[in-house]
Amino acid sequence: MTNAIKGVLLSALVFPGLGQIALKRYQRGVVLMLATMAGLVVIVINATREAGRILETIASGGGVIDQDAMSRAIAQSTAWSDNLAFNLLLVAITLCWVYAAVDAYRIGKQQDLRQAGEPRGS
């Protein structure tokens, strides 16, 4: 498997930055991983808070959890996904993911070309 293919598969299908790390571009890979991880952590934290608010709303209504009560509580809660910050965060994570895949392919292609130009056995 060529370096370009290995890098793009790791960064695109596993996690952004992993292809760069596999291609020995550690600093770039760690930055991409941390940026993506930070965005995902913010999304998970906000989703957890929203779920907690929904459960509190259901519990304050008598504590009986049925499908109708849950549906009403979800509909009444402010959806964080309607928030502009959430949408921008999703765009940023997506751009990070795409950049990581393209960059890993580019780095791998350069390494493949360099290796093809080297004489065998050195």
Q: Residue 83: what pLDDT?
A: 78
Q: Residue 44: what pLDDT?
A: 92
pLDDT by residue for the chain (122 residues), tens digit each? 899 999 999 999 999 999 999 999 999 999 999 999 999 999 899 888 888 887 787 777 666 667 776 776 677 666 655 678 888 999 999 999 999 999 999 999 999 999 988 876 55
Q: Residue 59: what pLDDT?
A: 76
18 neighbors 118 (Cβ within 8 angstroms): no
Q: Residue 86: what pLDDT?
A: 85
Q: Residue 69: what pLDDT?
A: 67
29 neighbors 19 (Cβ within 8 angstroms): yes
Using CA atoms, how far apart are residues 116 and 40, in angstroms rounded to an integer? 39
Task: Give me the phi and psi of 79, to 5 degrees please.
Answer: -75, 125
* Domain limits, the chain: 3-116
Instruction: For 41-63, give the DSSP string.
Output: HHHHHHHHHHHHHHHHHHHHTTS
Q: Residue 56: what pLDDT?
A: 80
Both tokens of 105, joined, read 């392919």
Closest CA to 34 of 89, 96, 99, 105: 96
Q: What is the pTM of this model?
A: 0.78
Q: Residue 51: what pLDDT?
A: 82
Q: Residue 111: what pLDDT?
A: 95
